[in-house]
Every structure is written in C-alpha cells, then in structure tokens.
Chain A
Amino acid sequence: MGRRWTSAEVSRTKPLVFLLAAYPLARWIWLGWTGGLGANPPEFLIRSSGLWALVALWLTLAVTPLRRLLGQPALTGLRRMLGLFAFFYTVLHLLGWAWWEQGWSAPAMWNDIMTRTFITVGTLAFLPMVALALTSTHGWMRRMGRRWQDLHRSIYVIAVLSAWHFWLVRAGKNDFAEPYAYGAVLALLLGLRMLAWPPRPR
C-alpha cells in the first residue's frame, strides 16, 4: 500500500469535491434556464432534491468504510462537507414541499406531518439532521467532546429513516426498484461497519 495522504493533501481536493457536490444545483439552474425541467418543474425539483439528498447522505456514510478500505484516515476531512451537502439538499427538498405542495400554510404542513406516514418519517429524519448541521463546526466538536460523536452517530438513524421515507413514497405505485437499490447500498455501508470493524473497546 502506498503512502498515507496528509490532511493538507486531502484538503486540497475540497474545492473539487465541492464543485462535484454542487453539480445537482448547477444542473437545476441550467435546466430551469433552458426550460428543461419538463411540464411540472415543482414536481421535478422536489423529487430530484430528495434523491440528491439521499446520494449526498450515502456518500457521507461511505467516507468511513472508504478510508479504512484504502487505509487513508485523512479522508475524514471530506466528511463534514458531504454531510452539509446532504443537509443542504434536504432543506431544498423540504422547502419545495412547503412551498409547492403546502403553499407555506403552517396548518396544512402540520396536518401533512401528522396524518401521512411518509411525511412523518421524513420529518423525523430531518430533525436530527438540523442538530448535526448546527454542531458540525470545530467549536462544537471541541465543546461537546465525546458526546459529539454520540450525537453524530444519529446519522445512522437519519439514513434508515430517509430510506424508509423513500420506500414509502414509492410504495403507492409498487415501484420499488430504486428504494431497494438505495436500501442495498445503505445496508452495505452499515454492514461493513458491523462486520469488518466490530466496535473496539474504548
């Protein structure tokens, strides 16, 4: 195995990773500009932002297995940015729902959250995400110490709830190919942690 990358080297790839992670946003703007969002742009954007939020979340979860498989611990340096992109696309997904589906009406949103399982599950996935995004800074990491890691383990719950939300969305039309694919990748990402690297005594 080759030399270990330094943190500084990994940091230098950040602008590139940022641009790649911003690709969905750039694509929407381009498509919007050229009339390529189809006949129902709100639907397109709500669905697309939801999918990209999942992709970004899965990529965030892929960092740890990847750094272990490659023997490159410095890759952790990319994790926060990916996680924040997952949060960013989730926020857009939510804003799209609030605006285009609920017309900013708080009672309508509340009703949707309370009566529809897939919205309830989606909301439950979003709430801890807010906490993770707020505590993602170095300052909070320092202040919280070991509790920071405990809190940020909730990403596993967020991921499972997100996959469940996606499954519920497609359930009405028996259209499970994509939810199963995303679920399988998630199972792999989580399974690798459990099988290959059992928790070490602290």
Chain B
Amino acid sequence: MSMIKPPHIPPSEITSEEIWQSRRRWLRLAGLGAVTVGAGGLGPAIAAAAEAARSPLASTPNPAYRLDDRLTAEKDITSYNNFYEFGTGKTDPMEYAGDMKTRPWTVSVEGEVAKPRVFDIDDLLRLAPMEERIYRLRCVEAWSMVIPWVGYPLSALLREVQPTGNAKYVEFVTALSPDTMPGVRAGILDWPYVEGLRMDEAMHPLSLLVFGLYGKLLPNQDGAPLRVAVPWKYGFKSGKSIVRIRLVEKMPMTSWVKAAANEYGFYANVNPEVPHPRWSQATERRIGDGFFAPRVKTLMFNGYAEQVASLYQGMDLRRYY
C-alpha cells in the first residue's frame, strides 16, 4: 500500500466539527452516567472539559506518513488508555492524570553521549519542526487505533547530544510522582516505568518524539508533555511523560520484562505469528469500529515491515519477541 497520497488536509482541521459534537455528547453522557450508575463520578466530564481546553500545537502534515485507515476519534484516544501510574482501568488515566504537573518539565538526556544536557520542555518544543504523522497504534492487548500524532523524529533529539560509539541502547525513564499517581501504590510494576530501544530503532525515521495529537498538545492521559511513538512495536514500548533518556551500552531492563518476561519481550515488535501466552496476536479490534465489525488482521510490524524489517534481518523473531 502506498502511503503517499497528496494533497493532504490535516485531520485536525477536517474533523474539528465532529470532535466538537462528540465532545458535547460525551460531556452530557458522562454527567448522566455518573448519576445513573453511580460509577465514574465527574471524572469524564472534567477530563472532557480539559480536553476542550488543550492548547493548539501547530505542525505541518508529513505526507509520507499518512494512512487510508479511518482516524480513531479523539474522544477514544483520550479516554481509553493504558497508563498504569494512574490505575489499571482504561478510563483511570483520563480521570486521574489531570493532577499531574507537566510544567515546569525537564528531560535529562545522558549516558553514552558527548554532550549530556537537561532540556527544558520549551526548548524541546522548539528543537525541530513539528510534523503531523498518522500512525497505527497496536496495543499488545490486541486492540488498535489510528492516531494523528504531532512531533518530530526522536533522532533529532538524540543527535543533539552526540551519542558515543558505546551507545547501543536507549533507555526511557518516565515520570513518577506518587502524590498525583494513584496507580503506583499498587505494586503492579517496579516504578518508575522504564522502556528501551536499540540504538538503530531509536534513530529510525519512524520513531517519533511526540508532543501532541489532533493538532493540540498531548493530554496528560496520553503522556504529556512528551512521549515516544514507535509504531511497529506494541504500544507499551512507547513510554509516556518521559523525564530521562539514557544512552547505554547494555540492553536496559524494562519494566514489563522485569514483571513478566515470558509475556512481554524487549523487542515487542508487532507480529501476528507470535501469540501472547494468553491470547492470539493474529487479529486486533480496531477501536471505534463498533459492535458488529469483525476483527482486523494484524500486519507484520504493524504494517511498517517495508521500513523496519531490515533492522531484524537474521533474527529469530519467535525467540526475540
């Protein structure tokens, strides 16, 4: 499938009406739901209000990264999240992440680099031109979304600190503030959340440092103020609310590998042929497709095989899952 389809209108412009409508509907329902079933409280309404208030983030659509797939609604992208620091429920991040402070915010980029540096979020926002890219996101739980991210290649940041020859891997450490993160009290993972990439994966043009979605700054539940998006890997590889990036020589021990190495590997490349121990990865449920839609076939490397398969030449992907 060709991914180049100009002319392109930024989705942030074409869907604004629909989003606006659905947001109003959401607000209304959230209020009703809270009264009727006594569950959820006012969280959804508050989160929806916060969503409406998110600042715009200007960007240029990159025509090389667009898809024919229908975009997932902004409401779904911002209300259905795995961000366990705020709880394991899918709506927990939307309800609780609002208290996380995302300003001031710094990111320390350190380790095997010639010029380690602590970046302020404002510097990062200006470091490289913002692009809008539409990526598929495939969760290891066998659901998927199509998201218009706003950001720039991760390589732009990494080049800035001049990695040394010893830099073989990149480790991402994400925010940990127990005061605002009710989920960290449950010992589900060894906090802070740590993820990692091989250096060539991190430098790959598809690896995106993300600051926004749908033309606006990221909401907290999606990993504000900055996260990565590595679209050919399962979603958990893409760390949210990053505070430290370390370039290291040895493969980092990541949170999920530490918690359940037999279920979640370091590579975690999307692969329909390698099942998760508890479910098949051959198909996925596309969020927003509705009750009667059949599951979608999962593509090798989430459909990005043409761009990334060469990174894994000669590797046994069943062993390095």
Contact = CB atoms under 8 A, between A and B. Distances in A.
Interface of A: 27, 30-31, 34-36, 38-43, 100-101, 103, 108, 111-112, 115-116, 118, 168-169, 172-175, 177
A34 B279 contact: no
Contacts of A173: 88, 188, 259-260
A151 B280 CA distance: 35
A177 B187 CA distance: 10
Contact of B37 (A31, A40, A42, A100): A31
B279 A174 contact: no
B294 interface: yes
A39 B25 contact: no
Given A39-B287, A40-B143, A116-B277, 10 more contacts: A31-B33, A36-B33, A39-B79, A42-B285, A43-B143, A100-B295, A101-B279, A103-B295, A173-B88, A173-B188
Interface residues of B, number: 33
B122 to A, nearest CB: 32
- The A contact surface, by secondary structure, is helix
A118 B91 CA distance: 25
Interface in B270-298: 275, 277-280, 283, 285, 287-288, 291, 294-295
Nearest to B286: A40
A169 to B, nearest CB: 8
Contacts of B280: 108, 111-112
Nearest to B26: A35
Contacts of A116: 277-279
Contacts of A112: 279-280
B29 A41 contact: no
Nearest to B187: A174
Given A101-B279, A174-B189, A38 B294 contact: no
Contacts of A100: 285, 295
Interface of B: 25, 29, 32-33, 36-37, 75-76, 79-80, 88, 90-91, 143, 186-189, 259-260, 263, 275, 277-280, 283, 285, 287-288, 291, 294-295
A174 B79 contact: no
Most buried by A among B32, B79, B278: B278
B37 A39 contact: no
A172 B278 contact: yes
Given A101-B279, A116-B278, A175-B88, A40 B287 contact: yes
B90 A40 contact: yes
Contacts of A40: 80, 90, 143, 285, 287
A82 B90 CA distance: 30
B29 A35 contact: yes
Contacts of A31: 33, 37
Contacts of A175: 88, 186, 188
A34 B278 contact: no
Nearest to A169: B278
Contact of B294 (A103, A108, A172): A103
Contacts of A168: 278
A121 B160 CA distance: 53
B278 A118 contact: yes
A72 B167 CA distance: 73
Given A39-B287, A116-B277, A34 B32 contact: yes
